[in-house]
Amino acid sequence: MRTSAFVAVSLTFALLAPLPASAWGAGGHRMINNTAIRALPDSLPPFLRTPEAIAELTALGPEADRDKGAGKPRDSDMDPAHYLNPDDDGTIGGTVKLAQLPPSREAYDTALRAGAKPTDEYKVGYLPYEILDGYELVVKDFAIWRADAYAETHVAPADRVFFGNDRRLREILILRDIGYWGHFVGDGSQPLHVSVHFNGWGNYPNPNNYTQSKKIHAKFESDFVDKHTSADAVFPRIPAYVPSKEPVLTEVETYLLATQSHVPQVYQLEGAGAFDAATPAAVNFTLDRLADGAKMFRDLIAQAYVDALDMRVGYPAVPVRDILSGASPPSRSIADGG
């Protein structure tokens, strides 16, 4: 399905192509996607870890920034998906608590608009919901793949080609969906993407006299990352996989709260000249933030594969567990939507 020529082109593109600097910058997003996939547990399907897949997923890391400037309404809809602007008290728009997010993007936006100081998701960002949206899509992807993979070896010979083709199509879609989704999970580990202090401290109490420079964002996430970090330096910092028992929404809240807690450190390091001097403290801090993004992405991919067992596929919808147990013989309706 993918040739060695594709691998060579993808790797060259991933390592050399100049791309717009945003979020973690192209280099940082490639590192997060690359190391997250390399850290996947062995329980996930091997097609995710082939050299071709790793090259493709690495190259897709910056994709959500590359499609900026597509036009209206896409830009106005998607730009706020890359960030969240909670205040120092942990509230978004002075209304919604980051530690207690509403269950849906609609409920989130409704709460923001009804607050004492009305705002909306387009002004303060909706990054948590973009992460959740990507997660749910990948769960469904894996559910269809699991059903196809089982059917391919458990149906009459006349139907095996059909399910083999459907499985291979799903693998192409899974790689694309995971690669694109990884960008937003990675955004969530960049402290300046989870704060009202996203580019200079701004018009807020500033007893520590943190910089108001509008260059701090790009200096930290792109220039510094490109010069002083690498995937091979990030990878050893990703801890071993441990399945979570928490709801995914809770995991996302915890992840973003932890990232927000590092915002003062960014400004302290900048004020001390640590990014300009590339001190060990600045390098280690940045590598740890990239590793946090890769860990979260790895964990969510692994959890999506497990949660796919609880999905229903096809039309009429059939539980994946019933297909895999033999309780519901697979039929071509697995490929239908309802």
| Partner residues linked to 86 by β-bridges | 92
Q: What local confidence, expressed as pLDDT, does residue 23 receive?
A: 61
Rounded CA-CA distance 289/284 in Å is 9
Q: Distance between CA 42 and CA 48 in Å, rounded?
A: 10
Instruction: Find all residues with CB under 8 Å of 152, minimum gap 6, and list them.
Output: 160, 163, 164, 167
**Cα dist. 165→40, 96, 98, 162, 317 in Å?**
25, 46, 43, 5, 20
- State the pLDDT at residue 337: 82
Mean pLDDT per 10-residue run, the chain (338 residues)?
A: 42 37 82 98 97 98 96 96 97 97 98 96 98 98 98 94 97 98 98 97 97 94 94 98 97 98 98 97 98 98 98 96 96 86
- What pLDDT, on a 0 to 100 scale, did the predictor assign at position 325? 96
Write down the residue that tokens 């106005």 correspond to. 76
DSSP one-letter string for 143-188: HHHHHHHHHHTTS-HHHHHHHHHHHHHHHHHHHHHHHHHHHHHHHT
Angle made by CA atoms 265, 280, 57, in degrees to the nearest 5: 80
Residue 81 domain-assigned? yes
Closest CA to 30 of 67, 73, 64, 72: 64
Residue at 206 is within a domain: yes
- State residue 13's pLDDT score: 40
Is residue 112 in some structural domain?
A: no
Residue 338's pLDDT is 63
Structure-token match 């890391």, residue found:
61
Residue 209 belongs to a domain: yes
- For residues 95 and 216, is the Cβ–Cβ distance under 8 A? no
What's the domain range around 228?
4-85+125-335
254 close to 315: Cβ distance less than 8 angstroms = no
Q: Which two tokens stand for residue 82?
A: 């890359």
| 116 is a domain residue | no
Within a domain: residue 102? no
CA dihedral for 86, 302, 322, 168, sign (positive or negative): positive
Q: What are phi and psi of 163, to 5 degrees?
A: -70, -30
| DSSP-H helix ranges across the chain | 4-16, 25-38, 51-59, 63-66, 74-78, 105-113, 121-124, 127-152, 157-187, 216-218, 225-228, 231-234, 248-260, 263-271, 274-277, 280-307, 320-325
First to last CA, the chain: 29
> Residue 57 in 3-state DSSP?
helix
Contact criterion met (CB below 8 Å) for 264 and 206: no
Residue 191 has, within 13 A of its CA and on its CB side, a CA count of 22
SS3 of 200-230: CCCCCCCCCCCCCCCCHHHHHHHHHHHHHCC
pLDDT given at position 84: 98
CATH code for the domain in which residue 219 is found: 1.10.575
Inside any domain, residue 107:
no
Residue 114 within a domain = no
Per the structure, the count of domains in the chain is 1
pLDDT of residue 10: 43
CB 12 within 8 A of CB 212: no
